[in-house]
């Protein structure tokens, strides 16, 4: 089936795209369209190169790679933190590349959750990624507190979005800490982090954010907004590789706070190898490191983040919004008659970098897309997530995905598949 919209329009937009040359920086499978960059970004040639360079440093230098070579390992986390900082709106010494998303959340909550008097509760929401809730429950149990009583989760009114008024209303006198997502992983709703931070601080509450679905796709100003802390992964929009080391932000006003979890890589650099049993913590976000950095998982980020340093997050955001705007228009025009509903915000200020298409046959539709060599993402029970990524997807990709979806629905190709997720959705 052909679309009523003309594909020539997509081709013209691609020809005018200032970021089009960066598509050649990535390994793209011929004949395939990748729309899952909000789960795992593609490998860039620069990320591959810096990984190979770090392997060469190990091969050629052995232990001397800590201080010598192309990318010395001892301060590699700090080097990458400086590249991350502009993406989150933090100062270089407020950012650290370390741990994983959930490990960093444990570190930050163990540091900043200080139940006292009537303030004994953590405020979260009902739509956040499950791992965050598991970690918060664990932190409460470690303090002898019952998560059923001391973890407050603000409910969604419609199952898609959070109402910020509801979040603010829940910032009561018994809340000691707030942890919220920057972008909801299902619907792609962007929360007003500046407003929520001000509301929390007006009530004497510390607040932190999970930036997994926004860092590398949406500009932030964590320092200027006064956010207390944040954490994120670097394998989605930042294309750092599967399981690559995560990132965290701690506002400079908290420098000097002893981390809840300490380890030798949180030492001040000049004191680390004194081997003293009294820790001398780093005087900035470096203190929140725990163990030896995972060098070979850090290495691809060097090349991956170089691309963002060249392009700038504002240009990435501009194209990302243009891609999702175009996709929304085509879905409205071509797929609505087949029962698709756009479960993502339409307003630019509230929309992240992916679209959630809701349909009762979503699991089947995702399998049919993969049969056409289009890689989507499924979220139970009824969401097809599509993420046209600014650095490597095109407007023609968007057109072809929607055209294929129309064919799948018109020909009922989805009917041959079971309407259930795979083991890894």
317 is catalytic: no
Closest by CA position to 248, among listed 67, 99, 367, 386:
99
- Select which of 249, 385, 395, 406 is catalytic: 385
**8-state DSSP, 43:** P
- Which pair of structure tokens corresponds to residue 348? 């630019």
Neighbours of 6 (CB within 10 A): 11
Question: Binding site annotation covers 417?
Answer: no
- Select which of 236, 364, 379, 406 is catalytic: 236
With tokens 């507190």, the residue in question is 145
How far is 95 from 284, CA to CA, in rounded Å?
Answer: 8
355-386 residues labelled b (16+ CB within 10 A) or e (exposed): bbbbbebbbbbbbbbeebebbbbbbeebbbbb
Question: Binding site annotation covers 130?
Answer: yes
Question: Binding site annotation covers 288?
Answer: no
129 is catalytic: yes
How far is 237 from 217, CA to CA, in rounded Å?
Answer: 6
Phi then psi for residue 338, to 5 deg, are: -100, 10
One digit per residue, the tens of pLDDT, for the chain of length 425 reads 467 778 999 999 999 999 999 999 999 999 999 999 999 999 999 999 999 999 999 999 999 999 999 999 999 999 999 999 999 999 999 999 999 999 999 999 999 999 999 999 999 999 999 999 999 999 999 999 999 999 999 999 999 999 999 999 999 999 999 999 999 999 999 999 999 999 999 999 999 999 999 999 999 999 999 999 999 999 999 999 999 999 999 999 999 999 999 999 999 999 999 999 999 999 999 999 999 999 999 999 999 999 999 999 999 999 999 999 999 999 999 999 999 999 999 999 999 999 999 999 999 999 999 999 999 999 999 999 999 999 999 999 999 999 999 999 999 999 999 888 787 77
Strand order in the sheet with 95-97: 95-97, 247-250, 229-232, 206-210, 175-181, 121-125, 151-154
- Select which of 129, 255, 338, 341 is catalytic: 129
Question: Binding site annotation covers 64?
Answer: no
Question: Binding site annotation covers 201?
Answer: no
Instruction: Specify the pTM.
Output: 0.96
Question: Binding site annotation covers 394?
Answer: no
Question: Binding site annotation covers 26?
Answer: no
- Which pair of structure tokens corresponds to residue 255? 């420098």
All domains of the chain, ordered by start, with CATH?
A: 7-30+313-416 (3.90.1150.10), 50-311 (3.40.640.10)
349 is catalytic: no
- Select which of 235, 392, 395, 399 is catalytic: 235
- Select which of 36, 57, 125, 210 is catalytic: 210
Question: Binding site annotation covers 237?
Answer: no
385 is catalytic: yes
């Amino acid at each position: 089936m052909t679309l009523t919209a003309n594909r020539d329009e997509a081709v013209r937009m691609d020809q005018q795209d200032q970021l089009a040359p960066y598509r050649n920086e990535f390994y793209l499978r011929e004949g395939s369209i990748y729309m899952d960059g909000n789960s795992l970004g593609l490998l860039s040639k620069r990320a591959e190169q810096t990984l190979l360079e770090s392997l060469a440093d190990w091969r050629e230098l052995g232990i001397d790679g800590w201080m010598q070579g192309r990318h010395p390992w001892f301060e590699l986390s700090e080097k990458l933190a400086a590249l991350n900082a502009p993406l989150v709106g933090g100062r270089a010494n407020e950012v650290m590349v370390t741990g994983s998303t959930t490990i960093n959340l444990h570190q930050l909550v163990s540091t900043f959750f200080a139940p006292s008097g009537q303030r004994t509760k953590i405020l979260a929401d009902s739509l956040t990624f499950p791992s965050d809730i598991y970690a918060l429950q664990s932190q409460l149990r470690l303090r002898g507190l019952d998560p059923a009583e001391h973890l407050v989760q603000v409910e969604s009114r419609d199952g898609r979005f959070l109402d910020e008024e509801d979040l603010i209303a829940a910032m009561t006198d018994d809340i000691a800490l707030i942890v919220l997502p920057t972008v909801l992983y299902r619907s792609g709703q962007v929360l007003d982090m500046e407003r929520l931070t001000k509301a929390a601080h007006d009530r004497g509450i510390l607040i932190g954010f999970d930036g997994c679905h926004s860092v590398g796709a949406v500009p932030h100003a964590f320092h200027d907004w006064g956010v207390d802390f944040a954490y994120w992964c670097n394998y989605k929009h930042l294309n750092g590789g599967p399981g690559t080391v995560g990132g965290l932000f701690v506002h400079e006003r908290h420098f000097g706070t002893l981390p809840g979890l300490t380890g030798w890589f949180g030492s001040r650099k000049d004191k680390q190898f004194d081997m003293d049993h009294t820790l001398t913590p780093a005087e900035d976000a470096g203190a929140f490191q725990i163990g030896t950095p995972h060098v070979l998982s850090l290495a691809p980020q060097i090349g991956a983040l170089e691309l963002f340093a060249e392009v700038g997050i504002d240009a990435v955001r501009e194209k990302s919004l243009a891609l999702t705007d175009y996709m929304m228009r085509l879905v409205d025009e071509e797929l609505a008659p087949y029962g698709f509903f756009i479960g993502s915000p339409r307003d630019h200020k509230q929309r992240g970098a992916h679209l959630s298409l809701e349909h009762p046959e979503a699991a089947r539709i995702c399998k049919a897309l993969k049969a056409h060599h289009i890689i989507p993402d499924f979220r139970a029970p009824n969401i097809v997530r599509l993420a046209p990524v600014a650095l490597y997807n095109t407007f023609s990709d968007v057109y072809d995905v929607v055209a294929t979806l129309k064919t799948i629905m018109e020909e009922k190709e989805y009917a041959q598949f079971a309407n259930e997720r795979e083991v890894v959705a």
